[in-house]
Amino acid sequence: MLTLKTSLITLVVGMIVGYLGQRSRFCTISGVRDFYLLRDPYRLKGFIGVLIGGIIGFAAVNFFGGTLQSFLHPGSIEFMPLLSDGFNMEPIILVALSLFGAFGMAYFSVMAEGCPFRQHVIAGEGRISGMFYLAGLICGVLFFDIVLVPLLQVISMF
Amino acid sequence: MVEEVATKSNEKPKEKKKFKINLKDNMALITGLTMGVLAAVVQGFFDVQPPAGAGICAVSHPANLINWIVNQVFHTDYTIHSIFVTVPVLTSLGFVIGSFIAAMINKEFKIRKGPVRDNVLAFILGFMVIVFGLMWGSCPIRTAVLASYGMVFAYVVLGAIVLGVIAACEYIKWKVRR
């Protein structure tokens, strides 16, 4: 029952956010891009809103008795949100890999005219390139699992 | 004469300014705030954790879902975030359904081309974004959420994301100038 609840809650949250994302044209990458190129702050306000909303949510959840992992204590600095927990790498390599990954994700997202969330939304609107993007995303995940993770493991041995 | 008119106009009683938030102009901000709060609420009250900050993500959640399906079908053991090992995470499906409902309600749903002109290029870009995104493990939304929970390195990664956007913009500008 608990497992069904977890799946359902993620679906409902996704639907709420997807609905709002379609109405507002929310996009994190385009927010930075629009502000850099056109000095248009509309979408950038959304990106900053996530930061502010996160702080409000974090405070509210802790206030009402919920539990969230905080990073404001010693030892929490080692946390990395990598999907593959099995990367046995030196922390400095992980840091470099993460920064390189974030840079590349942002670079190619500008070329795709939207962040991964925005691409989900435009696919739902009926945009064909968004649907092809999602197909590429699925293949990318499989490529990462099958090719890149073992490759990085081998490289990390040296 | 001109001065008299000017002074008279200045003497008009000032109307009290009404504090009014323009919803249309701040819709993206409202969406962002809702995302931040929902991500925390989902984790804090509905136990969608660990890992930290994984309430909403457009990179790790689709990856978790795909890995979960592949693991179920082919009995592989590709890595999945601990909370989603036994259950599929349906956030990314929710994004698409929510957007579809919004587009249908507002009569904006239409199968049409774009925004990337070439569909093959869109496929390649999706591939590249997820491969690079999985190296960090989060989309920009989750990175912002992690930053708001006090993760210092997430701020550094946000800096890398901004740098990536600037580099792409400069490349586009250079290409247009040529």
- Nearest-angstrom CA–CA distance, B86 and A118: 28
- Nearest-angstrom CA–CA distance, B129 and B67: 17
- Nearest-angstrom CA–CA distance, A86 and A71: 22
Question: pLDDT-derived band of residue B15, with 50, 70 and 90 as boundaries?
Answer: low
Percent of chain B whose predicted confidence (pLDDT) is above 70: 88
pLDDT at B3 over 60: no
Question: pLDDT-derived band of residue B19, with 50, 70 and 90 as boundaries?
Answer: low
Distance from CA of A145 to the nearest CA of B (A): 7
Residues of chain B with C-beta less than 8 angstroms from the C-beta of A81: 51-54, 60, 136-138, 142, 146
Distance from CA of B177 to the nearest CA of A (A): 15
Q: Which residue of B has its CA nearest to A74?
A: B151
Break chain B into its structural domains and give their ranges: 21-177
- For A62, other C-beta atoms within 10 Å of its C-beta total 14
Phi and psi at residue B161, to the nearest 5°:
-65, -45
Question: pLDDT-derived band of residue A92, with 50, 70 and 90 as boundaries?
Answer: confident
pLDDT tens figures, B130-153 = 999 998 888 999 999 999 988 888
Average pLDDT in the B17-40 region? 82
Question: pLDDT-derived band of residue B1, with 50, 70 and 90 as boundaries?
Answer: very low
Q: Which two tokens stand for residue A142?
A: 């499989």
Beta strand segments in A45-119, E: none
Residue among A42, A107, A142 minimizing CB distance to B164: A107
Average pLDDT, chain B: 84
Break chain A into its structural domains and give their ranges: 1-72, 80-158
Distance from CA of A92 to the nearest CA of B (A): 12
pLDDT tens figures, A33-44 = 999 998 888 899
Residue among A64, A84, A139 minimizing CB distance to B79: A84
Side-chain-side CA neighbours of residue A118 (13 Å) = 25
Question: pLDDT-derived band of residue B162, with 50, 70 and 90 as boundaries?
Answer: very high
Q: Which residue of B has its CA nearest to A77?
A: B151
Taking CB atoms and an 8 Å limit, are A102 and B132 in contact across chains?
yes
Q: Which two tokens stand for residue B171?
A: 């490349």
Taking CB atoms and an 8 Å limit, are B132 and A101 in contact across chains?
yes
